[in-house]
Amino acid sequence: MFWETFMLAIRAIRRNLLRSALTVLGIVIGVAAVITMVTLGSGATAKVTQDIAKLGSNMLQVRPGQGFRGPGGARSSAPMLEAADAEALAREISGLDAVAPSASQALQVIRGSANRSTSVTGTTDGFTRVRDWDLAAGRNFSANELRAGKAVGIIGHTVWKDLFGGQNPVGETIRLNRISFKVVGVLGAKGQSSFGTDQDDLVLVPLRTFQRRIAGNTDVQVIYVSARDGISTETVRADMERLMRERRRIGPEKEDDFHVRDMQEIVSTMTATTRVLTALLGAVAAVSLLVGGIGIMNIMLVSVTERTREIGTRMAIGAMERDVMRQFLVEAVVLAGLGGVCGILLGLTAAAAGARWMGVPFVFSPGIMMLAVAFSAAVGIIFGYFPARQAARLDPIAALRHE
């Protein structure tokens, strides 16, 4: 019996194909809009997460000052970190994979007649490990180079391309601050960060070399730390805060004059932002679904009036109220459902094109599609109910006499 009703609905829809198509257009556009928005939104979220994962998602940073908390002032007055802090962290905190104290400065890097303004970072061999960054060529700093503060450097991909034009740089010389550095390695390309900066535009040198021969002090601006896989960054962070308070002799009632940032924290802020945006766009699209539903109701009402004689005939032949009700309800649901399916196809196509254009991954989420189908079927039921009831309540005699 349900199959019969379904086929009946298909036939009724086919009898008036153009009108049926126009009727479901609202639903099609609504569903397509929801699917496109949500798919692109999830893609953007995924991209942000990926980008941050490139930084190393289990990475933490310690910086002097109070960070985001309160207005400035604390930052400048807070004492800098030092290499000993990093050593202490590495020694005393369990669950750490690598520690990399760093200090940076913008400098001209010169090779022959070519030069480029870049960021020079003094750090240790732990840097590549913390940042999950592979070397494309050459090697990392040796223990001896780090200890003795040798003039050696590892160059970023952009610097390599710019100064060496694709030639092998290992063993060549670059000049920083009028000092010659021997290139021992090249970092792999990381591309743009999600903040839009070129991550590959840098030169790494041993921290001690940087302090003595470039900065002229013993400051460490930031200590990067990575937790081992499966270790909660929350725990590591708490341990680090405790140790740092101890080392910096901060009394129990005093505020921290340093802060530990957790990449997880940054990830969640950024994904939360894109999620809110996605929800907002999705909501706007859902409104158009509602409008589509009203369109279906309108057409179903017209259809009931138009087919009054048909309804009368069916009733005379022996259709019960619920038979007529079911017929029109199923018709509305099938109409809305077809609209939903067309909308999904259209939405996925648009989302795929949009994802390519925006350079975000295409995230296929079956959940939202099921939701869209369920929603359009619900639209069919809700907006089909009233016209269907109207049809079922018709008086067969009056319906038969209807012109």
Partner 1 sequence: MSPPAPNPPRPEPIIRLRQASKVYGQGQAAIYALRGVDLEVARGEFVAVMGPSGSGKSTCMNIIGCLDTPSAGSYRFDGIEVGELSRDQRAVLRRHCLGFVFQGFNLLPRTSALENVELPLIYRGVGRRRRRDLAATALGAVGLTGWEDHTPGELSGGQQQRVAIARAIVSNPRVLLADEPTGNLDTERSHEVMHLLCDLNRRQNLTVVMVTHESDMAAYAGRRIHFRDGGIEATD
Chain positions contacting partner 1, by CB under 8 A = 1, 4, 11, 15, 309-310, 312-323, 396-397, 400
Are the C-beta atoms of residues 334 and 374 closer than 8 Å to each other? no
| Residue reference for tokens 């290992």 | 170
Shortest gap between Cβ of 319 and partner 1 (angstroms)?
5
- Enumerate the β-bridge partners of residue 202: 119
Are the C-beta atoms of residues 29 and 236 closer than 8 Å to each other? no
The nearer residue to partner 1, 16 or 218, going by C-beta atoms, is 16
Taking the alpha carbons of 205, 206, 207, 209 in that order, is the dihedral positive or negative?
negative
State the burial class of residue 100 (Cβ atoms within 10 Å of its Cβ: 0-12, 13-18, 19+): buried
The nearer residue to partner 1, 29 or 315, going by C-beta atoms, is 315
Write the single-letter amino acid at 80.
M
The nearer residue to partner 1, 201 or 310, going by C-beta atoms, is 310
The nearer residue to partner 1, 242 or 322, going by C-beta atoms, is 322
Shortest gap between Cβ of 395 and partner 1 (angstroms)?
9
Shortest gap between Cβ of 330 and partner 1 (angstroms)?
13
Are the C-beta atoms of residues 143 and 226 closer than 8 Å to each other? no
Shortest gap between Cβ of 23 and partner 1 (angstroms)?
18
* SS3 label, residue 397: helix
Are the C-beta atoms of residues 344 and 373 closer than 8 Å to each other? yes
The nearer residue to partner 1, 213 or 314, going by C-beta atoms, is 314
Are the C-beta atoms of residues 372 and 34 closer than 8 Å to each other? yes
- Enumerate the β-bridge partners of residue 185: 138, 154
The nearer residue to partner 1, 285 or 391, going by C-beta atoms, is 391
Among 325, 337, 321, 327, CA closest to 380? 337
Shortest gap between Cβ of 301 and partner 1 (angstroms)?
19
Shortest gap between Cβ of 19 and partner 1 (angstroms)?
13
